[in-house]
Structure 1
């Protein structure tokens, strides 16, 4: 199941990519750099969400096992 960090991270990653491309189009290294930073931040947040999902799945598996 998708969690909040996965969604927010992906959206941030996409926004950063757009900002990076915009900076490239207008020849603004500042906008490019900000976009890259936002993109990396989004990728990191998505990875946190992915890890959370795996932990939740493992916990579900453990709690559903018969004793």
Structure 2
């Protein structure tokens, strides 16, 4: 399967997906992730949305490299 393009929106989804479980383990919950791409452009993802699990783990490799 092909990884989604590394857009600000997809990266924000991936960050939220990675952080939700560790934050929940502390007794807190992740509300949202805001990724500021430039002074005029940002992606904001609310962690309660069900699409978080849809971001493939292959995206992690794209973010790390």
TM-score, reference length from structure 2: 0.36
TM-score, reference length from structure 1: 0.35
Larger Rg: 1
Q: Which has the higher helix share?
A: 1
